[in-house]
Amino acid sequence: MSESFKRYEKKYLLDNRQYSLIKDFIKDYVVDDVYKEYNLMSIYYDNDNYELIRRSIEKPKYKEKLRIRAYNPPNKDDYIQVELKKKFDGIVYKRRTQGQYEDVLNNIYTCEFKDLQVGKEINYFLDYYGQLKPKIYIACKRRSYKGKEDESLRITFDENMTYRFKNICLKEDRENDKSINDGVIMEIKVNESMPLWLTKILDEAKAYPKSFSKVGNAYLKEMENNNGII
């Protein structure tokens, strides 16, 4: 099983007032996505110098990342999402397949992916950067919608965003989990242009695009809290 995406993604950092307004405004234009509300857990891979995360913070024209993802805490034999995400000039490209959780987490280099082609692309990525490891856990509660008229439109709201650099696994760890931000991240994903009704709603709520990386913010916060040492 594999999936490929090419789309535009815009993020917005909302306060509680904006979040409430926008959720109320969009209800006539959207419906619940297939998985409407879930706990999203991700692990991002990097080397010991955090090269990929540091590059992302610099906001380059091109960046890429490798992550694994689950929508509930998986058992060791469950299959989870393994995803390559690349962004160039504002357009996001994703290549996604699945692997068995324990195999992926223990050694992604020897994991058998369900889709052989995407697996080859992941292995190329691993070889290119060298010695990538599970480095940071990111979690949030996500609410997801899709457009009534255009199902390719997706709007998600992420809250209760947490991270940790210890005990890297796809399970909650209240002892080590730390908050990233008190706000709500709204992400709008479209294949082409944003519909006019949505543009008007964003203007009404005074919500403006803002670059926000959960991984980047978690890294900077951890560096600040530990005097530059992770």
Per residue in 18-46, pLDDT (tens digit) is: 999 999 999 999 999 988 899 999 999 99
Looking at domain 3-225, its CATH superfamily turns out to be VTC, catalytic tunnel domain (3.20.100.30)
51 phi and psi, to 5 degrees? Answer: -60, -45
Per residue in 97-156, pLDDT (tens digit) is: 999 999 999 999 999 999 999 999 999 999 999 889 999 999 999 999 999 999 899 999
pLDDT at 36: 87
pLDDT at 3: 61
Mean pLDDT of the chain: 92
Domain regions of the chain by residue span: 3-225
- Using the predicted structure, report yes or no on whether residue 5 has a pLDDT greater than 70: no
Per residue in 48-105, pLDDT (tens digit) is: 999 999 998 988 889 899 999 999 899 999 999 999 999 888 788 999 999 999 999 9
pLDDT at 34: 85
Burial of 199 (C-beta count, 10 Å sphere; 0-12/13-18/19+):
exposed
16 phi and psi, to 5 degrees? Answer: -65, -35
pTM of the full structure: 0.91
Task: Kindly state the tokens that stand for 79.
Answer: 């299959």
pLDDT at 19: 96
